[in-house]
Structure 1
Amino acid sequence: MATVTFYEKPGCINNTRQKRLLAAAGHQVIAKNILTENWQAERLRIFFGALAVRNWFNYSAPAIKNGEIDADNLTEQEALVLMLKNPLLIRRPLMQVGNRFMAGFDQEIVNNWIGLKEIETNQDLENCPRPLTQPNCGHE
C-alpha cells in the first residue's frame, strides 16, 4: 500500500474514478486541489519527468480546445509560465508517492508503479468525457 498525494480538480469525473481505483487497490489517497495549490515552476516541473512538453497539458482545458494555446510549439519554460497562470492547463492528476512523481493516469504505468487491483480497460480515464458547453463540467 502506498500513500498517494493526488492533485486533482475537484468535481472532475475522471479524477474521482482514478481515486476509486487507487483506493480499491489499498492505497491511501490524499487529495489536493490542483487549482489552488501554490505551485512554483521547479516543483511543478518534477511531476513531468521525461515527458515531452506537449504531454504536460490537459487537452480538455478551454484554452487548448479553443486553439488559444498550441502545446506542440512551447518550450518547457513557456509551458510552466502558462500553467502557473492557468492551472487548468496542467495534465491531471499529478501524483506523488515518496520521492516519485507522475503526471496523468496511464493505468498500465500506475499499475507497474504502485499497483492497481483492477484496470478499467473500457474507459478513458485521462480525457474529459463532457462537452465544453456543459455547466460545472470540470473544464473551468
Structure 2
Amino acid sequence: MIKLVVFYEKPFCAANAKQKQILRASGCTIIERNLLEHDLDKETLRTFMGEKKVTDWFNPAAPAIKNGEISPDTLNEEAAMELLMSNPILIRRPLMVIGSEKLCGFDADKVSEVLERYVEPMPKINCMEKGCLEKRSE
C-alpha cells in the first residue's frame, strides 16, 4: 500500500525534519516541496487552511509574529492571505496533501486519521504496455 504525502516545508527546519521522520516511519512516501518557493496561488493556498481560524494560518515562531510586527488576530482573511503570499515564512507548516485532502500544520491525530482514509494500493503497471517484455529478434 502506498501512503503518499506531498509535504511543503521550510528547508532545514528541524520540526519539519522530525515530522517527515514520523511520516516515513509510518510507511509514507514523501514528495518534498519548498514552502518558501511555492507556486501556489491564493485560492490554492486557502484550500490548505480549511476551517481554521485566520490566526491558525500563521506560524507563531515566525520572526515577524514573535516580535509583534504582525498580529494575526487583527487580520481578516483577505489581509492574512496577502501577507502569507508575500512572505511565505509566515505560513504555518507543513502544508500537506494526502489523497484529496489538504492540511496546514502537523496535528498527529489528524494526519493519522487522513492517512487511514487515503492509503491506496500500488498502481498496477502492465509491463507489456511499457515495452519491457518486447520479443527479441534472433
Q: Give the TM-score normalised by the residue count of structure 1.
A: 0.79
CA distance in 1, matches of 2:110, 2:100: 16
Post-superposition CA distance 1:28-87 (Å, at most 9, x none): 100100001122110100001000110000011011001011101111111110011100
Aligned runs of 1:89-128 on 2, under 5 Å? 89-114=90-115
CA distance in 1, matches of 2:53, 2:86: 20
Report what 1:18 is aligned to.
Answer: 19
SS at structure 2 position matched to 1:42 = helix
User: Aligned Cα RMSD in Å?
Assistant: 0.9
Indicate whether 1:4 and 2:10 are aligned: no
Task: Count matched residues.
Answer: 115
SS at structure 2 position matched to 1:3 = strand
**TM-fit CA distance, 1:98:** 2.4
Task: Give the percent of matched residue pairs that are identical in Structure 1 and Structure 2.
Answer: 46
Kindly report structure 1 stretches of 4+ aligned residues shifted beyond 4 Å: none
CA distance in 2, matches of 1:51, 1:39: 18
Report what 1:38 is aligned to.
Answer: 39
CA distance in 2, matches of 1:112, 1:40: 27
SS at structure 1 position matched to 2:37 = coil
Report what 2:87 is aligned to.
Answer: 86
Q: Quick check: 2:98–2:114 contact (8 Å CA) kept in 1?
A: no
SS at structure 2 position matched to 1:4 = strand
SS at structure 2 position matched to 1:79 = helix
Provide structure 1 residue ranges, at least 5 long, that are not aligned to the other structure.
116-140
- The structure that has the greater radius of gyration is 2
Q: Quick check: 2:9–2:33 contact (8 Å CA) kept in 1?
A: yes
Aligned runs of 1:41-80 on 2, under 5 Å? 41-80=42-81
Report what 2:121 is aligned to.
Answer: none
Q: Give the TM-score normalised by the residue count of structure 2.
A: 0.81
CA distance in 2, matches of 1:52, 1:97: 21
